Amino acid sequence: MKAIMYGKTNEFPVMHEHADHAQYIYQRVVDTLLRENVRGCIDQAEVMPGDALSTRWGMHLKENHQWLKISHFGDGNIWIPVAQTTFMQRWRGVGLPLLWQKDNKVEEMYTLDDLIACFSQGLGPAAVSTFKVFAEECKLAVEHRQICENERERWFNEYNALNGKVTGAELPSWASRLIHYDRLGAFLDHPFYPTARAKPGFDFKSLAAYSPEFQNKFLIHWLAVPNAFFYPSEFNKQVLPQLWPSFDTIGLPAALADTHDLIPVHPFVWEYQLEDLLSAAAIPNIIRAPKPYLTVAPTLSVRTVILLDMPEWHLKLPLTIRTLGAKNIRTIKPSTIHDGHCIQSLLSSIAASEPSVANRLVLTEEDCGGHADHQMFLGYILRRYPVESLSNSTLIPVAALLAKTPAGKTVIEEAAEKYYDGNLELFWNDYLELTLRFHLLLWLRYGIALESNQQNSVVVLSQESPRLRLLLKDNDAARIHFDYLTMRWPYLATHVANLQDRRIIVSDTLPLGQMFATITLQLNIAVLVESIGPILGLSANTLYSQVRRRVDVVLKELMAEGEDVSLARQLLLKNDRLYIKYLLTAATLAEKNETGANDVNKFYGMSSPNFLRVI
């Protein structure tokens, strides 16, 4: 495949992309289109043998490969070379080229533009525009991937020169270990959103300045907001980091403390969008502080930064960029400041009453934050890590476990060497048992499912007992069967009786099962299975058998304690298909009125082969 040249995007320099970056994104896009059955590309396609094109056009696939012939998009046929699979989808692409056939002419499709143009044939202008937006996102993903992969190579060379054989788990403090693994995790793609490497809104300068792949330090800017328009967290108005600025620290008169409150602003927003945001907010007498203050560095979540001089404090700020889809702009809804704390306090009360998980669960404090007049771009959340119980531990986001280290191993291997004497299988078993036990317990006993994705779930490792714990943060998008919780645990229900985002409340148990399947089972377990099998010398089927047995054990224990496990057993162990998220469809290619989903991150299809089902 020839190298592809993309033109200037925002302020990116014109560059000749290496073929592997473009082909990598192309393959991810093809697999996602198939996984989400975009425009019926699976259900309405015809499966053809590998030699279906050999007689007429000389095209032939390798043994066991087939073609999907898609004929309903326009006045020609798309031919996609595929193989059957069992992980997350029925068919996966097996490489390039894809073919476009019209009448007696066949063209090879090597570019994403060509593929997306074929998939948008026959659509109306509004739908075509969403595909065009996605095409631009694909180009940006290729650019950002190359830039970040170059940075990874540079950083790894620098790290090895400076640190020799010192691993991330041997860095001097819990915070230095955490941000090291955050940075490693940033180079690893989201398992299912194909263009996750793109951060639309960031140009080259901003990507280098503010993204976790580069992890450069920067200073926070500040606005002074009149008291009447400032809404602090109702739970804990006074507890701020000791380093939080006074007015004179940031170049403002000290007397303003009597009439104004301070709101931090990300420097990217400050430089590029603040004027428009303030005009839209129309809040009188807002004052821009002349001096930035607080040295921070980006974490894995991009908009959350760590206070480098008080690393137990993380500051979450709105960003006017998009990640994981055109509709996923990184605001902070005022409701999340309230709801995140409510759910964390609920989890804390549950953990205290459950001996099987009580000492193995770590929760951040999320009771501090504020916003200006209900604006989604003028607010913040302060998250405090319980440093007193973490100082001798290593924290690794689940999103980083499969990332490559400077030494060439995976993070999970490096962690197993440090904390499990190199026994990766024992590490895996501990992680699997705790993850399944806690989340099944939440679902079946309390009617709660957490969106504890790979960023929000953090493995806490220690040489002391317990050797492995889970830290959970940022739980403002859970699903709670409130009537069930109230009926069984009325004193716990008081924690979440006044949730502001009513999408959290569900009226039956199916949404809980959908979230468990798509977050806990698929993102946090199955993705690991697919990669650690080769390291352990075990097949994926062998590891899925372990997962199935562990699910069965926990379900039997809960059933013996009086819990109704019938839906969980049906969804997880008996059904032919599992629910999966249609991320690309909901977040980029379709409108909410088309999907019916009230949250673009919770639109499901039941189309994944069930890798836990005994056949």
Query: Which residue ranges make up each domain of the chain?
Result: 18-125, 198-385, 409-609
For 604, the 3-state DSSP assignment is strand
Q: Closest Cα to residue 306, out of 368, 218, 230?
A: 218
**Separation between Cα atoms, residue 601 and residue 583, nearest integer Å:** 6
Question: Do residues 275 and 180 make contact, with C-beta atoms less than 8 angstroms apart?
Answer: no
pLDDT score, position 57: 77
Strands 105-109 and 218-226: unpaired
The DSSP annotation for 343-409 comes to HHHHHHHHHHT-TTTGGGEEE-EEEEEEEETT-TTSEEEEEE--GGGTTT-EEEEGGGTTSBPTTSS
The rounded mean pLDDT for the chain is 93
The pair of three-digit structure tokens given for residue 445, joined into one six-digit string: 């006993």
pLDDT score, position 15: 40
pLDDT score, position 219: 98
pTM attached to this predicted model: 0.95
Question: Do residues 231 and 374 make contact, with C-beta atoms less than 8 angstroms apart?
Answer: yes
The pair of three-digit structure tokens given for residue 189, joined into one six-digit string: 């793609």
Assign 9 a pLDDT band (cuts: 50, 70, 90): very low
Q: Rounded to a whole number, what is the largest CA-CA distance in the chain?
A: 85
Give the domain 18-125 fold.
TATA-Binding Protein (3.30.310)
**Separation between Cα atoms, residue 184 and residue 118, nearest integer Å:** 36
Burial of 184 (0-12, 13-18, 19+ CB in 10 A): buried
* For helices 424-441 and 540-560, angle between their N-to-C axes, nearest 10 degrees: 40
pLDDT score, position 196: 95
**Separation between Cα atoms, residue 463 and residue 327, nearest integer Å:** 43
For 135, the 3-state DSSP assignment is helix
355: phi then psi, degrees, rounded to nearest 5 = -60, -30
Distances (CA, A) of 508 to 457, 482, 565: 25, 9, 14
- Tens digit of pLDDT for each residue in 225-234? 999 999 998 7
pLDDT higher than threshold 90 for residue 79: yes
- Tens digit of pLDDT for each residue in 276-331? 999 999 999 999 999 999 999 999 999 999 999 999 999 999 999 999 999 989 99
